[in-house]
Amino acid sequence: MTGLTAKGAATRERIVRAATDLILDRGVAGMTLDEIRAGTGTSKSQLFHYFPGGKSELVGAIAAFQNGRVMAAQEPWLDRLDSWAAWQSWRDAVVTYYRGLTHKYCSVSALVNDVAPTDPALAAEIAAHADRWREQLAAGLRTMRDRGLLRPEADPDRLALATFATLQGGLLVMQSQDDIEPLEAALDGALTMLRAWS
C-alpha cells in the first residue's frame, strides 16, 4: 500500500504482524474479519482503511510478511548455496526456524491450499512467494553445477523442484505430528538426493 505516512505504515505493519499469528494458528477459513479486528485491537474503519480489499488483501499482506520472515531465517545461506557446506548450513537454518514454531499453517504453501478453492487470484499471489524461494534453490544449484560440484547433466530446476517439494512435504508431516523430525528427515533426504548428482 503506497501513499502512507510513516505513522500509517507503522500502524499497517502492526496490524499485519498481529493478524499473522491469528491466521497462521487457525487458517484463513477459520478467521473472520471481526475476529481479526478484535485480535489486533483494530476498529472496523481502520482495518478497511489499510486493507480496502478486505480479507483477501490482508491475507496477501500476511503471506508476504510470513514469507519475508521465512526467507530471512535462511540467510545468509539461501543467497550463497554454492558449496555442500552451505547447503548443510541452509538445512540447519530451516530446521532451527521451524523448530520454534507452533502454527498449524506455518508454511506459505499451507496458506495457498487454504485459499485456493475460494480465491484463486489470491492463491496465485501467495504461490509466487514459493516460486521465488524455489528459484533461489535453483540458482544455488546452477552455481554448484558451474563450479563442477554437480555433474554437467544435472538439471538445477528439476532438482530444486524436488528439494522444495520434499521440504514442503516435511513441513506438512511436521505440522500433523507436531514433531520436527519429519522436516529433518525430509531435508536430509533432499541433500542426499542432491549429493547423488555430484
pLDDT cut 70: percent of the chain above it? 89
User: Which residue in 14, 11, 34, 31 sits closest to 23, CA to CA?
Assistant: 31
Cell numbers found for residue 42: 483494530
Q: Report which of residues 27 and 96 the model is more confident about.
A: 96
Q: d(Cα 176, Cα 132) in Å, to the nearest integer?
A: 26
Cell numbers found for residue 125: 499471489
Alpha helices in the chain (DSSP H): 6-26, 33-40, 44-50, 55-73, 84-99, 108-115, 120-146, 156-177, 181-195
Q: Where are the domains of the chain?
A: 6-195
Q: d(Cα 96, Cα 180) in Å, to the nearest integer?
A: 9
CA angle at residue 19 from 49 to 33, to 5 degrees?
60
Model confidence pLDDT, tens digit, residues 57-101: 888 888 888 889 889 999 999 999 999 999 999 999 999 999 987
User: Which residue in 161, 191, 168 sits closest to 70, CA to CA?
Assistant: 168
Question: Class of the 6-195 domain?
Answer: mainly alpha
Cell numbers found for residue 47: 482495518
Cell numbers found for residue 36: 481479526
Q: What is the pTM of this model?
A: 0.83
